[in-house]
Amino acid sequence: MAQKVQFVETVLRDANQSLIATRLPYDKFEPMLPTIDKVGYYAVECWGGATFDVCLRYLHEDPWERLRKIRAKMPNTKLQMLLRGQNVLGYAHYPDDFVKLFVAKAVENGIDVIRIFDALNDVNNLKVAMEATIKAGAIASGTISYTTSPVHTQANYVKMVKELKEMGASTICIKDMAGIMGPKEAYDLVSAIKDAVDLPIDLHTHSTTGLAFMTYLKAVEAGVDIIDTAISPFSGGTSQPATETLAYALRQLGYQVDLDDSLTKKMADYFKTVRDDFIKDGTLMPKSMATDTQCLTYQVPGGMLSNLLSQLKQMNALDRFDEALVETPKVRKDMGYPPLVTPTSQMVGVQAVRNVLDGQRYKTVSKEIKAYCRGEYGRTPAPIDPEIQAKILGDEKPLTGRYADTLKPIVEETRQKLAGVARSDEDVLSYIAFPNLAEKFFAERKEKEENTATYTIVEA
């Protein structure tokens, strides 16, 4: 019997996050949800990552309400979210009571699969979220943040996968956020994981470097079960490879693909017009659609490249870009080779720019890098350079245990603080994650409702 390959569709989350900075409002894709629901995807990634922040900050939407509406229109397909372990959806570590309640509410509001990763691949930062996911009855997808370095060996990845299985992961995800995994690396790593554990494997990559199609084909050859793709108008560049192209190629090679082509065509026709609107208003920039192989040399993901550029532009120092690019892997090495994914990518990039502009390495250090050196982000893949750590911390001693163990519970205290303002635990969670944005959103919501009520009375 032919090997079956399943697909996760990313247009509602990572594809639009990568290409248009997550600026896809609910009403732009709502008419397509019943169609997407019938395509035959393993899951549709629609929440988590930057969606929560952007809904509140730019789209003026309640992220929880958005999830409930997607769930109502898509009753037959698993909905997936991306969760940053102990960071949840923010950039700092949160207390365990917040992580547990957030996961429980995400599942209650419609999430079926939670892909849980940590920027440092420290399994201690995944534990609480994994346990909460399993307790809530959802699929816990234990995730490797893929990168390359002297310490990121196949043996170490396999060791981590075994730990994820012991923690109760139902599936394993290899998350190649920078699109740097080549076809041979994919074939070898998937084969090694398949030999080590009997769990479905999902491979996630980006088209940034132009490797993704080849990488997926070799991963499938090695037995990968699920691949992440984007409907063609939102594919390529810093996004994922195209759903329809891979479905076509894999069928030709004799694999079983259960997607309905007539419906993916309908989706593509629809999302072409959506994409064109974002091209017209300048949100979708040609640079995001291009292939950029610098990632293979400097390990800098697409989003991090644009951050470096905008940082230098603000400081009128665009001419120092090449120096900052060369400094980035050096800072990464000093910091113990963290995978460059949120939030470590931003921290390393900012520090590289500071080192270059100051003309002296680590003359000024961000509070995040200080916290990182203190051990607040978890166990680093390799030890931090001891001289640099001492220079940054002075006499302060780094943490030896799990940082979240030092944080006091926050949920009950926030419930009391927001009495009369928060209407639900979901509101409380939004506030803990992004206090300023949530406050502003609550005020706007109230004002909108009052205006609507006044209008209705006049009408009557």
pLDDT digits (tens, 9 = 90+) for 343-384: 898 899 999 999 999 999 999 999 999 999 999 999 999 999
Together in a domain, 307 and 247: no
Instruction: Quote the pLDDT of residue 303.
Output: 67
Q: Is residue 275 part of a domain?
A: yes
Task: Round to whole Å and give the CA distance between 134 and 148.
Answer: 30
When pLDDT is averaged across residues 77-81 and rounded to a whole number, the result is 98
Instruction: Quote the pLDDT of residue 454.
Output: 67
pLDDT digits (tens, 9 = 90+) for 222-241: 999 999 999 999 999 999 99
When pLDDT is averaged across residues 20-29 and rounded to a whole number, the result is 96
Cα of 295 vs its chain's centroid, Å: 18
What value does the CA radius of gyration of the chain take, rounded to a whole number of Å?
22
Together in a domain, 365 and 340: yes
Decide which of 231, 259, 280 is a domain's last residue.
280
Domain that holds residue 19: 6-280
Together in a domain, 444 and 373: no
- What percent of the chain clears pLDDT 70, i.e. is strictly above it? 98
- pLDDT reading at 296 higher than 90: no
Q: Is residue 418 part of a domain?
A: yes
Q: Is residue 157 part of a domain?
A: yes
Together in a domain, 267 and 176: yes
Together in a domain, 266 and 187: yes
Instruction: Quote the pLDDT of residue 127.
Output: 97
- pLDDT reading at 289 higher than 70: yes
Instruction: Quote the pLDDT of residue 457.
Output: 54
pLDDT digits (tens, 9 = 90+) for 331-344: 999 999 999 887 89
- pLDDT reading at 109 higher than 70: yes
Q: Which residues have a Cβ under 8 Å from the Cβ of 42 and sit 6 or more positions away?
A: 6, 7, 8, 78, 226
Residue 210's pLDDT band, with cuts at 50, 70 and 90, is: very high
pTM of the entire structure? 0.94
pLDDT digits (tens, 9 = 90+) for 128-148: 999 999 999 999 999 999 999
Q: Is residue 1 part of a domain?
A: no
Q: Is residue 286 part of a domain?
A: no
Q: Is residue 351 part of a domain?
A: yes
Together in a domain, 209 and 334: no
Q: Is residue 285 part of a domain?
A: no
- pLDDT reading at 100 higher than 80: yes
Together in a domain, 449 and 396: no
Q: Tell me the two tokens of residue 345.
A: 């990518």
Decide which of 280, 303, 326 is a domain's last residue.
280
Instruction: Quote the pLDDT of residue 310.
Output: 78
Instruction: Quote the pLDDT of residue 107.
Output: 98
pLDDT digits (tens, 9 = 90+) for 170-179: 999 999 998 9
Instruction: Quote the pLDDT of residue 456.
Output: 55
Together in a domain, 319 and 416: no
The pLDDT mean for the chain works out to: 94
Amino acid in the structure at residue 425: D
Give CA angle at 412 (406, 414), nearest 5°: 90
Q: Is residue 288 part of a domain?
A: no
CATH number of the CATH domain containing 338: 1.10.472.90
Instruction: Quote the pLDDT of residue 230.
Output: 98
- 3-class DSSP state of 418: coil
- What percent of the chain clears pLDDT 90, i.e. is strictly above it? 86
Together in a domain, 59 and 180: yes
Neighbours of 330 (CB within 10 A): 14
Decide which of 258, 280, 302 is a domain's last residue.
280
Residue 286's pLDDT band, with cuts at 50, 70 and 90, is: confident
Q: Give yes or no for a cis peptide into 343 (omega within 30° of 0).
A: yes
Total number of domains constituting the chain: 3
Instruction: Quote the pLDDT of residue 287.
Output: 81
Residue 459's pLDDT band, with cuts at 50, 70 and 90, is: low
Together in a domain, 238 and 299: no
CATH number of the CATH domain containing 198: 3.20.20.70
Instruction: Quote the pLDDT of residue 453.
Output: 73
When pLDDT is averaged across residues 243-253 and rounded to a whole number, the result is 98
Element (DSSP H or E) covering residue 228 = strand 226-229
Q: At what angle do helices 127-135 and 96-108 cross, to 10 degrees?
A: 40
Instruction: Quote the pLDDT of residue 455.
Output: 62
Q: Which residues have a Cβ under 8 Å from the Cβ of 416 and sit 6 or more positions away?
A: none
Together in a domain, 275 and 167: yes
Together in a domain, 169 and 231: yes
